[in-house]
């Protein structure tokens, strides 16, 4: 008798749980609509709205789950379902250039390998970073958030790379550039009103003369820092416009490809994102490692390039104790007639 009586109760519990899950999914779809509107249409009005632009892949996932729930079942809301489907298409359009594989050009001659990594100032796993650099063996290496401890811990790099310029700082805005390539020049510059240093180097590479900018704008948390970051990115565009030949912009740019400000940077100087066609790879992670997994990740570390450099390979590095991952890109010059 007890077993027979428990079945309706179990069924009611399952039904209640299903309805609760459907409500959660529907609510996630609603938030995807609101945050997409904020991040893509209203981002320039107020700095917190721009932060919503960085999670396009998560909005696409939420919308994909919510659309069927809102189209049928107890949470049926046709008007909201239509909005969710539009938002799904918008976010798929944003991430599609990265998710869809691109055909790599034939490698003609020796490639140029570039690597950037935000080591995290408080991270003390110097040996792990050195091992990663040894494994990757980049021709040009930009390290972000280096302080005096990092410069001391990475002393073997000064033997490995004859070209080196380091600007250690204790405030998370130290930067260092290493290269095995001959440098025609290497200098410190300050972009816009950020008061943080960047490094510019003109290098003779396997693909010809390349001017490299290693830089780290402010994180856009707070109105003042958001303005400084946007001014910094605008100054990167102005700097690039003044250069001749091929260019690389490397570092933790504190912005994802889905921000309107990032799209403006690329459009202003016709820079290309090396991540296009290489898959969706997060480079910065939110969440405590002791939880066993990071809660969320987004791509804010970049290697941007001019059209005369072609990407043949791009990957994200392993965990070396930082909340960032390295970005490694192999470039070749376009074949004659391309």
Regarding beta strands 140-144 and 310-316, do their DSSP bridges make them parallel or antiparallel, or are they unpaired?
A: unpaired
Q: How confident is the prediction for the chain on average, in pLDDT?
A: 89
As given in the structure block, the two tokens for residue 298 are 């987004």
Range in 22-36, 218-232, 295-309 the model is least confident about: 22-36
Q: What is the pTM of this model?
A: 0.90
What's the order of all strands across the beta sheet hosting 327-332? Answer: 163-167, 175-179, 140-144, 112-118, 327-332, 310-316
Helix locations, the chain, DSSP H: 2-41, 47-51, 56-71, 78-99, 126-136, 148-153, 156-160, 223-241, 260-269
Given pLDDT bands bounded at 50, 70 and 90, which one contains residue 11? low
pLDDT of residue 4 exceeding 60, the answer is no
The SS3 assignment for 241 reads helix
The predicted pLDDT at position 337 comes to 44
Nearest to 52 by CA among 62, 37, 66: 37
The CATH architecture one would assign to domain 112-332 is 4-Layer Sandwich (3.60)
Nearest to 305 by CA among 274, 267, 268: 274
How far is it, in rounded angstroms, from Cα 278 to Cα 297? 17
Kindly write down the DSSP assignment for every residue of 38-91, as one continuous string.
HHHHSTTT-HHHHHGGGGHHHHHHHHHHHHHHHHSSTT--HHHHHHHHHHHHHH
Strand partners, 203: 183, 210
pLDDT of residue 14 exceeding 50, the answer is no
Given pLDDT bands bounded at 50, 70 and 90, which one contains residue 75? low
Contact of 185 with 201, CB cutoff 8 Å: yes
The predicted pLDDT at position 27 comes to 86
Contact of 203 with 209, CB cutoff 8 Å: yes
Tens digits of residue pLDDT in 265-322: 999 888 999 999 999 999 999 765 545 555 689 999 999 999 999 999 999 999 999 9
How far is it, in rounded angstroms, from Cα 88 to Cα 84? 6
Given pLDDT bands bounded at 50, 70 and 90, which one contains residue 126? very high
Mean pLDDT of 62-67: 93
Give the position of tokens 């130290």. Answer: 174
Q: Which long-range contacts (CB under 8 A, 24 or more apart) does 101-108 make?
A: 101/277, 101/278, 101/279, 102/276, 102/277, 102/278, 104/310, 104/311, 104/312, 104/313, 105/310, 105/312, 105/332, 105/334, 105/335, 105/338, 106/335, 107/312, 107/330, 107/332, 108/332, 108/333, 108/335
User: Domain boundaries in the chain?
Assistant: 2-98, 112-332
How far is it, in rounded angstroms, from Cα 191 to Cα 202? 17
How far is it, in rounded angstroms, from Cα 301 to Cα 326? 8
């Amino acid at each position: 008798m007890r077993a027979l009586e428990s079945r309706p109760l179990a069924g009611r519990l399952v039904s209640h749980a299903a309805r609760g899950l459907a409500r959660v999914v529907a609510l996630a779809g609603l938030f995807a609509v609101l945050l997409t509107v904020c991040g893509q249409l209203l981002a320039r009005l107020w700095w917190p709205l721009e932060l919503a632009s960085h999670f396009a892949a998560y909005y696409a996932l939420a919308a994909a789950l919510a659309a069927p729930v809102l189209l049928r079942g107890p949470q049926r809301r046709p008007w909201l379902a239509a909005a969710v489907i539009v938002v799904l298409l918008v976010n798929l359009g944003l991430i599609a250039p990265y998710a869809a594989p691109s055909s790599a050009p034939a490698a003609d001659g020796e490639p140029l390998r570039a690597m950037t990594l935000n080591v995290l100032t408080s991270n003390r796993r110097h040996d792990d970073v050195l091992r990663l650099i040894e494994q990757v063996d980049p021709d040009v290496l930009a390290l972000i958030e280096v302080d005096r401890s990092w410069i001391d811990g990475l002393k073997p790099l000064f033997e490995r790379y004859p070209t080196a310029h380091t600007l250690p700082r204790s405030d998370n805005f130290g930067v260092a550039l290493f290269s095995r390539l001959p440098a025609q020049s290497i200098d410190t510059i300050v972009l816009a009103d950020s008061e943080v240093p960047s490094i510019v180097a003109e290098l003779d590479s396997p693909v010809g003369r390349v001017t490299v900018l290693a830089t780290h704008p402010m994180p856009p948390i707070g109105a003042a820092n958001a303005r400084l970051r946007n001014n910094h990115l605008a100054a990167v565009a102005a700097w690039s416009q003044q250069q001749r030949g091929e260019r690389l912009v490397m570092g933790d740019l504190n912005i994802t490809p889905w921000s309107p400000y990032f799209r403006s940077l690329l459009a202003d100087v016709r820079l290309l994102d090396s991540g296009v066609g290489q898959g969706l790879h997060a480079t910065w992670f939110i969440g405590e490692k002791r939880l066993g997994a990071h809660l969320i990740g987004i791509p804010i570390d970049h290697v941007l390039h001019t059209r005369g450099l072609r990407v043949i390979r791009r990957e994200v590095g392993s965990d070396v104790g930082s909340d960032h991952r390295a970005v490694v890109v192999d470039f070749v010059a376009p074949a004659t007639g391309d």
